[in-house]
Amino acid sequence: MAASTFNPLEAARDLKAAGIEAEHAEAIAEGMRRAVSADRDELATKADLAALEARMTATLYRALWFQGGAIIAILTALRFLPI
């Protein structure tokens, strides 16, 4: 997928054409430019999400095995306790 580009000059022109004052249109366009050009290194990629899913799946299975073992141990202990 191609990266989209944002042209603040065009955005300011469109805002002015819509009836927004020039100062405000330029300020809005500048704010939008900053938001679009934010640090993209902090965004999650599909690979990041896949790695997270793999780690969470492994953690879930580990927790389920631990819980199963704990249940078996408790039931075994209860069987041999004099009641």
Given a cut of 80, is residue 37 above it in pLDDT? no
Percent of the chain residues past pLDDT 90, beyond the cut: 58
Locate 59 and state its tokens.
Answer: 């953690």
In the prediction, which pLDDT does 1 show?
Answer: 42
pTM greater than 0.85: no
Q: Which residue has the higher pLDDT, 46 or 35?
A: 46
Residues 55-79 have pLDDT tens digits of 999 999 999 999 999 999 999 999 9
For 1-83, where are the alpha helices, taking DSSP H only? 8-17, 22-36, 46-80
Q: Which residue has the higher pLDDT, 31 or 83?
A: 31
Q: Where are the domains of the chain?
A: 1-43, 44-83
